[in-house]
Structures are given as structure tokens and as C-alpha cells.
Amino acid sequence: MHKWIALSSNSAYSLGMPAKTPAPVVLTGRHVRLEPLTLDHVPDLFTAGGGDEEVWRWLGRPVPRTEQELRAIAADLLAASDDYVPLAVIDLRTGRAVGWTTYMDWSARDERLEIGWTWYGRSVWRSAVNTESKLLLLTHAFEELGMGRVQWKTDHLNLRSQNAIARLGAQPEGTLRRHRLRPDGSWRSSVYFSMLSDEWPAAKSRLAERLARG
């Protein structure tokens, strides 16, 4: 299934439609294309972020030091298709994969999902890549899937991620203490954020304006 999503602020959608379960999809913007992750993306992904301590610091998996180690992580993610819809992030300037992101923890009945297990190579940090990726994901979640709630969670020490999520227009909801075991054996607390469907139109306009400003 291929979806081209117009990023104008006036696209029509119904907040009352029944929610749908997320499935592999292609979402294309001006800067990035999100497409179903495959093992064929691994060489580009390793070039983008393999062996980079800072990229993997908060991701809950040991830093992949070889392409084979990253391939194993990607294979594990792809094998968990009942729990994740993983999408490779393609930089349209180069045509190369520079990270991945997923839909996860969804319930169509409860009209909710989470965007998570996301990373980008350091070369595209502070670029349009994250902003447009989230705009595409949120547009699809609210306007195509009919979700009423999208959530994020991140390590309580990962202030860069918390600030990036807040800039999307998501609202902080609190912290689950001692929530997950890190690869080094320490415990992380998880900070939760969410956005609701009635908050989305204003957030969409702000994100589109940010992209237009470059």
C-alpha cells in the first residue's frame, strides 16, 4: 500500500471514523520517505548509525558494532510483526536509509497507538528529517487510521528526546519509575507524552510551518 500524504494544513479528514490497525505503508513527503523496513536497508543503516554510542545511548539495545549485529537487531524487530510496524526513514536527498521508526502498542478498539523505537543517524539530527517523519506518521495515524490518541515514551535522562517530543506539540503525562532495564544493568524511568485527535489540527499547522521555514 502506497500513501502520498499532502502536508497542507487544510486536508480534510474525519475524526469520527472507526480506527484501523496500523499496517506496512509508504508515506512520502518533500524531505523523507517512510517505507517498510527490510534487511536490504541494513547496509545504509549501519553507515548512518552503526557503532555510534550517542545514537544508541537510549535505545535499550547494545550498540551494534558490526553490520551483522545491526542486521540481527533489525531481524528481531521484523520478527515481532504482531507488535511493531517498522518503517525505514529514507532521506530523499540521497535515497539512503538514515534510521527507522515504528508504530507500536496499538489498540484499534481504544483508538490509540505509540510512535517509538525510533533512531536517526547523527548526520540528519537537527534537520527536517525528524519533523517531517513525525508529520507523516501523525497525519497517517490521525487522518487515515482514525486514532484518537498517539503516545511516546522516553528515558527520563534523555532530555534531547523529551524536548523533541514536546516541540511536536505533545503533552507530558508523567513518569513511570524504574520502568525498564537498560543494557548496562541500570534502571530507567519512562517519561510519557501524548497527543489527542482534537489537538492534532493545531499541532499539524505548527509542524507544517516549521518545515516551511526550513
What's residue 18's pLDDT?
A: 81
The 10 Å Cβ neighbour count of residue 85 is 18
The residues, ordered by sequence, that sit 6+ positions from 18 with a Cβ below 8 Å of its Cβ are: 108, 146
* CA nearest neighbour of 34 among 135, 154, 169, 108: 135
Q: What is the mean pLDDT of the chain?
A: 92
User: pLDDT tens digits, residue range 177-190?
Assistant: 999 999 899 999 99
Q: Over pLDDT 70: what percentage of the chain? A: 92
User: pLDDT tens digits, residue range 4-57?
Assistant: 554 443 343 444 568 999 999 999 999 999 999 999 999 999 999 999 999 999
Query: 164 or 8: whose pLDDT is higher?
Result: 164
Q: What is the mean pLDDT of residues 191-207?
A: 97
Positions of E strands within 54-206: 84-91, 96-107, 112-120, 149-155, 171-181, 187-196
Q: Could you give phi then psi for residue 111, rounded to 5 degrees? A: 55, 50
What's residue 12's pLDDT?
A: 39
What's residue 97's pLDDT?
A: 98
* CA nearest neighbour of 95 among 28, 156, 142, 161: 28
Q: In sequence order, what are the beta bridge partners of 149?
A: 112, 196
Query: 30 or 3: whose pLDDT is higher?
Result: 30
* CA–CA gap between residue 157 and residue 188 (Å, rounded): 8
* CA nearest neighbour of 3 among 137, 118, 149, 131: 137
3-state DSSP assignment of residue 70: helix
Q: Which amino acid is at 110?
A: D
* Confidence band of 133 (pLDDT split at 50, 70, 90): very high
The pTM assigned to this predicted structure is 0.90
* CA nearest neighbour of 87 among 45, 131, 30: 45
3-state DSSP assignment of residue 49: helix
Q: Report DSSP state, residue 5.
A: -
* Confidence band of 65 (pLDDT split at 50, 70, 90): very high
User: pLDDT tens digits, residue range 113-132?
Assistant: 999 999 999 999 988 999 99
Each residue of 123-135: b (16+ CB within 10 Å) or e? ebeebbbbbbbbb
